[in-house]
Amino acid sequence: MSLEEAFRVYTKGAAEMDGRTFAKMLKDCGVLSSSSSSSSSKLTAAEADLLFAKVKDRGSKKISFQQFQQALQLLAEKTKMDLQTLQQKLATEGSEGPILTGTKAEKVRFHDDKSTYTGVHKMGGPTTVDDGRVQFNDLSKFCDRSEYDIRGVKKGIIENKTGDSK
């Protein structure tokens, strides 16, 4: 695979590459050093950003393939690598595209372990269709539009709770 094809794979077919994708390509191909290893022949993320800013046009956020090649020349000078070796490395290792990784969420004790649930949620959570509930066992009781009595109490609710009318 050629360098231009690897460029197109990383940009998903677009003609220009942004700084994040440039740094991602260098990191995936082993040119950019990770934060834990500090080698003099490898480039840091800050240096890659500076190289990208040096070759891009003023006011733009992306570089073309020709500007990408200029950045590789500057990169080869900076890391003291041969330009052909660098281009070959990016072409072969960048042919598969970006390496995407994700993190798997760990279990949270009080959220995932249902034996630690308390209160209403211990029995499966609140519901409006429980057997034995007197007040809201019918959907029409949710929006009781009956009049209040002189004391400001609804008659229907007291009758439903106690079973007798006042």
**CA-to-CA distance for 56 and 49, rounded, in angstroms?**
11
Pair 82, 140 in one domain: no
pLDDT at 41 (0 to 100): 59
Tell me if 148 sits within 8 A of 154, measured CB to CB. yes
pLDDT at 32 (0 to 100): 83
Pair 89, 133 in one domain: no
Domain assignment present for residue 154? The answer is yes
CATH code, 55 = 1.10.238.10
Domain assignment present for residue 15? The answer is yes
Domain assignment present for residue 47? The answer is yes
**What is the pTM (predicted TM-score) of this model?**
0.58
Tens digits of pLDDT across the chain (166 residues): 688 888 898 898 899 999 999 999 998 888 887 655 555 557 888 999 999 999 999 999 999 999 999 999 999 998 888 889 888 888 888 778 888 788 887 877 777 787 888 887 777 777 666 555 555 556 666 666 777 788 777 766 555 555 555 4
Pair 78, 139 in one domain: no
Domain assignment present for residue 99? The answer is no
Which distant-in-sequence residues (6+ apart) come within 8 Å of 21 by Cβ?
10, 11, 98
The domain tally of the chain equals 2
pLDDT at 121 (0 to 100): 78
Which domain, by its residues, includes 81? 3-93
Query: How many CA atoms are closer than 13 Å to the CA of 22, on its beta-carbon side?
Result: 30
